Structure formats: C-alpha cells, structure tokens
Amino acid sequence: MRRDTYVDVRDYVLLEKDKYTFFVLKRIMGGECKLLMSDQERLIICFTGQPFPVWILTADDASAEEMEKAFKLAKENKLLDGKHHFNIKYSLAEYFIKRAAEDGSKLKITTNMFAYDCLEPVRPETEADGGIYRCEMKDLEEVVDFLNDFHNELKIDQKDISGYREDAEAFINTGNMYLWKDDTGRSVASCKYAPTKDMASINLVFTRPEFRRKHYAENLVYQVTMKVKEEGYVPMLYTDADYVASNACYEKIGYVLRGKLCTIG
C-alpha cells in the first residue's frame, strides 16, 4: 500500500471506474493532500484536512478482507477518532458502522448523496424574474454571506468568516461564481462550477430562505449548466438524496442519476 502526497497515473485509471460518484475525489487528488494511500487497483484513501471529509474509494465488489483493510488503515492513521467523517459507498459504510460498534464506538450515516450528470439540459418550464450575474471582486462580502449561510444550513465543511472570505476570493477569481439577481436587483441565489479534466462540478447551489419556491435556483443552475456545456465540459453535481424536491428540480432540467454514496461520521 503506497502512502504519500502525490498521485500516480494509475490512481486516475482507478477513478475512471467511478468517475461520477468520486468526481470530487479526482479534483482534490489533483491538489495538495495531507494523506493519500492507494494500491492503484482497488483502494484509495484521501484526506486534505479539516473540516473536509475523508474520501475512500473501494471497488464495487470489494471483499470483507478489503473493507477490513480500509478500516484498519483509517484507524491506524487516527481517522476514526470521532473528529473525521467519510464519503464512501454504502457497502463500505455498513462495514465501517459494524466494525466501529465491535470496537465500542458509534458511526452512523449522516448524509445520503446522489451524483448526477447532464448531457442534454432542458430549459425550465417556469422562467424566474431577474437574471444570472457573474460575480466580481466588489461582490466579495456578498459571496462570503452566501458561503456562510450555505454551510451553516447544511452543517458541512464549516469554517470561520476568514476561511469563507478566502474561498470567496478564490471562487470569484476563477470567473465561475454566479448569483441570480431578481428584478429588483437583490441577490437571491448562488451557484458556481469547478472544472476537472472533461467534467465540471456545479455546487454552492443555495437560495436565501425568504426567496425560495420562486424557481430562482432552477433557472440559475440551468444557466450555469449551459455555460459549462458551452465550454466543452460535462456538467455534474452532487445532491442530498433526502431532499426530494431539489432532486426533482435537477431532474426536470435534464440531470440524470449516475451514482450513489453516503457520508458517515
């Protein structure tokens, strides 16, 4: 089992077998990793740092022995200390929960996740008032507010305001950070995308609570999806599988379910 902080080309070959489900893993492996373990064939464990999750990729037909290997590696590297959470397939989640119980600790599924792509976008049936707006540096504090509200509501990857400000500046500098402004000029929804090789992940989809059920996010995601397509990328996104209404919204504009995984902690 190789352990280092750089990625071998064979890791990407392994990722291609789960390119939708583990799209974000591919993206973070292209950056700086604090922990990366891989056998280049059946198992990858990757962690960048708090507050982010540990990603573990296993083969669909992983045996009990392979799952035990993943569990032991996580334990040996102090990832099962109660401070980390994991994005993994359901079969491995069940194994981790069972093994943790045997060791006297408790793990549970906190989020069910779907991975979608959109090869043929469909224009929303209901057109929202206002329009899409690409963020500039003068919008920095507004983007910080969206990041803060988004992460606080979802209770994931939470940072302090300085952390969100650093992220917001980076997102704006990419040119891929968007807001939807209603017909009075108020910023009501957010969305951005991040390309990796031939695909681009659409994320940070958030509508301010007081402006929901007015089709702002649906229209914004559609517009951003079209921009991603026009730039030659395959649009994809992750959703909380338990948010039936938002998943139905994505499906209405052409997103197709391609993979499933969950977060445990």
User: How would you write the pLDDT of the chain (265 residues) with one tens digit per residue?
Assistant: 666 656 777 777 788 888 888 888 888 887 778 888 888 889 999 998 888 899 999 999 999 999 999 999 999 999 999 999 999 999 999 999 999 999 999 999 999 999 999 999 999 999 999 999 999 999 999 999 999 999 999 878 899 999 999 999 999 999 999 999 999 999 999 999 999 889 999 999 999 999 999 999 999 999 999 999 999 999 999 999 988 888 999 999 999 999 999 999 9
33 three-state secondary structure: coil
Question: Which CATH superfamily is 131-258 part of?
Answer: Gcn5-related N-acetyltransferase (GNAT) (3.40.630.30)
Asked if 201 and 23 touch (Cβ cutoff 8 Å), the reply is: yes
φ/ψ (deg, to 5) at 168? -60, -40
Could you tell me where in the chain the CATH 3.40.630.30 domains are found? 131-258
Given this model, what pLDDT does residue 5 score? 58
Question: C-alpha angle 50/246/142, rounded to 5°?
Answer: 55
Given this model, what pLDDT does residue 132 score? 98
261 three-state secondary structure: strand
CB atoms near residue 37 (< 10 Å)? 20
Tokens of 51: 């507050």
Given this model, what pLDDT does residue 229 score? 97
What residue spans of the chain are helical by DSSP H?
9-15, 23-29, 64-76, 90-102, 140-154, 161-174, 216-230, 244-252
pTM: 0.86
pLDDT tens profile 157-167: 899 999 999 99
Distance CA 224, CA 107 (A): 37
Distance CA 119, CA 224 (A): 13
φ/ψ (deg, to 5) at 247? -65, -40
**Residues for the chain: how many in total?**
265
Give the CA diameter of the chain.
60
Burial class (CB in 10 A: 0-12, 13-18, 19+), 180: buried
